[in-house]
Structure 1
Amino acid sequence: MSHSTILDYLDNPSPRTLGRSPLEWLDRMLKPTVVRVAGRDRSRTRAMATLLHGNEPSGLFALHRWLLEQHTPEVNMLFLIGGVFPAKIPPTFSRRQLPGGRDLNRCFKEPFEGEEGRIAEAMLAELHNAQPECLLDVHNTSGTGPAFAVTITNDAAHQALASLYTERLIMTDLRLGALMEYSEQEVPTVTIECGGAQDEHAHQLAYEGLVRYTSGADVLSLEKAEWDVVVLRNPIRVELAPEATIEYRLEPSGRADITLPPDIEHRNFGTVAPGEPLGWVGEKGLGVLTAIGHNRTENVEKVLRVKNGQIYPAQAIKTFMITTNPLIAKSDCLFYAVKASGEPIF
C-alpha cells in the first residue's frame, strides 16, 4: 500500500491553506498529515511529530502558529501529525485514540497491525526517507503538571534537545513501541511533555520550544543550553489491573479498589515522604496494582505500602505522570516513580 493513501502532504503551506485557527486547520485535514518546510540549509533536516494522541493539542497549536508566521527554518523541517482521526471526533481534542482503536504511540514496532499500525509504518517510512539529524515527539501530559522530556538514551545530544523545552529529562529502558524508540536508529529522539492539554502555558511552551528547535544552527550541543538538565533514571511504571476500579474523591466511598484525592496531580515531580498518604485501597489491597521496572520485574512493595487502608510510599519517592482521568489511569498507567534522588527503585 502506498503511503500516499495513508498520509496527506503539505509542502511549504501558505496561510490560506492553514485556516485561521488550529481547529479550522484540523477540520480541513482528511487523514494524518506530513508538512514539509524548506530551510536555509537544504542539506539537513529536523523532524517533529505531534498529535500522536488526539487529546494532546499543544504541538498542533504551536505548529499552526509557527506556519502562519511564515518562518524560514535554519534547516529543512519535516512535521508528522498523527492522531487526526481521534482528534476530529466531537468534542474536538477529547479522545486519545479511536474508540476500539489502538494507542498510536504504541504502534511504532512490528507487526504494524490495523489502521494505527499502518499510520505508524508510513510515518517511519517518511523519517527513513528524510534522514533527519534529530526527532522530537511533542505531547501533553495526561494531567496538569510541569513539563518534562523522556528519552531512551541519556547523552549530551538528547539533553540538548530536551533543554529546548525543559530542564527535566526522564531516561527509561522500558520499550513500549513508542516513536521515541526511533533513537535506536542512531537519530537523537526525545519526547516532550509540554504540560496539561488545557494549559495555556503548555501551548506557549510548545511554541517557544518549536521556535528554538527550528531557528538554532546547532540543537545537539549541550554547551548552548540555558540550564542544567536534571536526569531521572528508569522510573517504575505503576499500573492498575484491567478489572480494577478507581475513583477520585476526598475520602473513599467503599466501592472502588483504589481511591485517590482529586488534587493528586499536585504530586507531579514533588517528593513524597514515607509518612505522607497518597490515597486508599479497597478490600483487594495492593493486589490491583503492578509496578513494572525497565527489566519487567514487578516490585510494587518497593514503591508502595498500606497501613490502615491508606497507601503510603514505601520509601521517599518522586512521582510524575499522575493523572486524574480514570480512562487514562486504566488504559495507560497510574503514575511513574523514582527514588527521591532521581535514581531507579530496585
Structure 2
Amino acid sequence: MSNSNVLDYLNNPSPRTLGRSPLEWLDGLQKPTVIRVAGRDRTRTRALATLLHGNEPSGLFSLHRWLLEQHTPEVNMLFLLGGVHPAKISPRLTVRQMPGGRDLNRCFKEPFEGREGEIARAMLAELHNAQPECLLDVHNTSGTGPAFAVTITNDAAHQALTSLYTDRLIMTDLRLGALMEYSEQEVPTVTIECGGSQDEQAHQLAYDGLVRYTSRQDVLSLEKAEWGVGVLRNPIRVEMAEEATIEYSLEPTGRADLTLPPDIEHRNFGVVAPDEPMGWVGDKGLSILTAIGHNRAESVEQVLRAKDGLIYPAQAIKVFMITTNPAIAKSDCLFYAVKATGEPLF
C-alpha cells in the first residue's frame, strides 16, 4: 500500500487553508497528515509528531498557531499528525484511539498489524525518506501534572532537546513499540509530555517549545540548554490486571479491586513516604497489580505493600503518570515509579 493511501500531505500551508481554529482545521483533515514547511537551511530537516493519541491536543493547538503565524523555520520541518481519526470522534479531542483499535503509539514496530500498524509504518517511511537530524513526539499527560520528557537514550543531544520544553527527563529501557524508540535509528528522539490535556499552561508550553525547536540553529548541543535537566532512570511501570476494577473515591465502596483518591494526580512527581497511604485494595490484595521493569515482570511487593486494606509504598518512591481516567489506568498503566532519588527501584 502506498503512503498516499494512508496519509495526506500539506506543503507550506497558507493560513486560508488552516481554518480559523484548530478544531476547524481538524474537521477538514481526512487522514493522518504530513505537513512540510521549508526552512532557511534547505539541507537539514527536523521532525515533530503529535496527536498520536486523539485526546491529547496541545501539539495540534501549538502547530495550528505556529502555522497560522507563518514562521519561517531555521531548517526544513516535517510534522506528522497521527491520530486524526480518533481525534475527530465527537466530542472531538476526547477519544485516545479508535474504538476496537490499537494504541497508535504501541505500533511503531513490526508486524505493523491493522489500521494503526499501516499508519505507523507510513509515518516511519516518511521519517526514513526525510532523514531528520532529530525527532520530537509531543503528547499530553494522562492526568494533570508537570511537564516531562521521556527517552530511551540519555546523552547530551537528548537532554538538549528535552530542555527546549522541560527540565525533567525520564530514561527508560522499556520497549513498547513507541515512536520514541526511533532513537534506535541513531536519530535523537524525545517524547514530550506537556501536562494535562485541559491545561492552558500545557498548550502554551507546547507552543513555546515548538518556537524554540524551529527557530534555533542548533538544538542538539547541551551548552545551549536553558536548564540543568534532572534525569529519572528506568522507572517501574505498575499495571492492572485486565479483569481488575478500579474506582476513584474518598473511601472504598467495596465494589472495586482498587480504589484511589480523586486527587491522586497531585502525587505526580512528588515523593511518597512508606507510611503514606496511596489508596485501598479489595479482597484480591496486590495480586491485581504487576510491576514491569526492563520488559519483564518484577515483584509488585518491591514497589507497594498492603496492610489492613491500605496500599503504601514499600520504600520512599517518586511517582508520575498517575491518572484519574480509569480507561487509561486499565489499558495503559496505573503509574510509574522510581526511588525518591530518581534511581531505579531495582
User: TM-score if structure 1 supplies the norm length?
Assistant: 1.00
Root mean square deviation, CA, Å: 0.4
Which amino acid counterpart does residue 172 of structure 2 have in structure 1? T
2:257–2:284 Cα contact (<8 Å) kept: yes
Which amino acid counterpart does residue 310 of structure 1 have in structure 2? L
Distance 2:58 2:49 in 1: 12
Counterpart of 1:252 in structure 2 is 252
Note closer, same or farther for the CA distance 1:295–1:82 as it changes in structure 2 (3 Å cut).
closer
Which amino acid counterpart does residue 69 of structure 2 have in structure 1? E
Which amino acid counterpart does residue 9 of structure 1 have in structure 2? Y
- Identity across the alignment (%): 85
Structure 2: 5+ residue stretches without partners: none
Counterpart of 1:16 in structure 2 is 16
Distance 1:37 1:67 in 2: 9
Q: CA deviation at 1:121?
A: 0.2
* SS of residue in 2 equivalent to 1:43: strand
Distance 1:134 1:41 in 2: 15
Counterpart of 1:40 in structure 2 is 40
311-320 or 299-308, which moves further after superposition? Answer: 299-308
Q: What is the 5 A alignment of 1:309-320?
A: 309-320=309-320
Counterpart of 1:60 in structure 2 is 60
Which amino acid counterpart does residue 129 of structure 1 have in structure 2? N
Q: CA deviation at 1:188?
A: 0.0
Counterpart of 1:184 in structure 2 is 184
Distance 2:214 2:296 in 1: 37
Distance 2:338 2:295 in 1: 14
Distance 1:160 1:340 in 2: 24
Which amino acid counterpart does residue 196 of structure 2 have in structure 1? G
Counterpart of 2:334 in structure 1 is 334
Distance 2:141 2:235 in 1: 16
User: TM-score if structure 2 supplies the norm length?
Assistant: 1.00
Deviation string 1:76-117 (CA, Å, 9 cap, x unpaired) is: 000000000000000000100000000000000000110000
Which amino acid counterpart does residue 96 of structure 2 have in structure 1? R
Counterpart of 1:205 in structure 2 is 205
Distance 1:153 1:34 in 2: 26
Counterpart of 1:323 in structure 2 is 323
78-87 or 297-306, which moves further after superposition? Answer: 297-306
Distance 1:45 1:151 in 2: 20
Runs of 4 or more consecutive aligned structure 1 residues displaced over 4 Å after TM superposition: none
Structure 1: 5+ residue stretches without partners: none
Q: CA deviation at 1:299?
A: 1.9
Distance 2:190 2:233 in 1: 15
Counterpart of 2:228 in structure 1 is 228
* SS of residue in 2 equivalent to 1:86: helix
Which amino acid counterpart does residue 67 of structure 1 have in structure 2? L
Q: How many residues align?
A: 346
* SS of residue in 2 equivalent to 1:336: strand
Distance 1:299 1:309 in 2: 19
2:239–2:289 Cα contact (<8 Å) kept: yes
Distance 1:299 1:46 in 2: 41
Distance 1:203 1:141 in 2: 12
Q: CA deviation at 1:208?
A: 0.1
Q: CA deviation at 1:297?
A: 3.1
Which amino acid counterpart does residue 150 of structure 2 have in structure 1? V
Which amino acid counterpart does residue 148 of structure 1 have in structure 2? F
* SS of residue in 2 equivalent to 1:140: strand
* SS of residue in 2 equivalent to 1:322: coil
Distance 2:297 2:137 in 1: 28
* SS of residue in 2 equivalent to 1:128: helix
Distance 2:20 2:218 in 1: 32
Distance 1:330 1:263 in 2: 18
Distance 1:15 1:214 in 2: 18
Deviation string 1:141-196 (CA, Å, 9 cap, x unpaired) is: 00000000000000000000000000000000000000000000000000000000
Q: What is the 5 A alignment of 1:120-131?
A: 120-131=120-131
Q: CA deviation at 1:295?
A: 4.4
Counterpart of 2:25 in structure 1 is 25
2:290–2:297 Cα contact (<8 Å) kept: no
* SS of residue in 2 equivalent to 1:79: strand
